[in-house]
Amino acid sequence: MFVVLIECLLIVGVWWYFKLKGRRIAKAYTYLMIIKRTGATVDSANRIALSIDMFGANQLKPLTMLHVKEVFNGNKQALILKAKSQGFRG
């Protein structure tokens, strides 16, 4: 019984980790798209990007993955690093 409980907790933990990671990638993508706009500031772009919740991240997933594939050759970490180099705080 105890082993089953530990396994379930581990599975939920791994699932939650990947959900949070996907949310962070969606936030970084959003930040990069906003910061390109005329008049956008680092603070305003961060405020909008950091407001994305799990539902919003799921809605952005197809666009984000397409952008990662085309611009960063599928490297999600490169997207986050580029956003951080331009002021992303997520």
- At residue 40, the pLDDT reads 93
Mark 10-44 as b/e (b = at least 16 C-beta within 10 Å): eeeeeeeeeeeebbbbbbbbbbbbbbeeeeeeeee
Centre a 10 Å sphere on the Cβ of residue 83 and count the other Cβ atoms it contains: 25
Residue the block writes with tokens 């997207």: 79
> What are 22-65's pLDDT values in tens digits?
899 999 999 999 999 999 999 999 999 999 998 999 999 999 99
How do the domains of the chain map onto residue ranges? 21-85
Running DSSP on this structure, what letter comes out for residue 36? T
Global confidence as pTM: 0.82
User: Is the separation of the CB atoms in 67 and 29 below 8 Å?
Assistant: yes
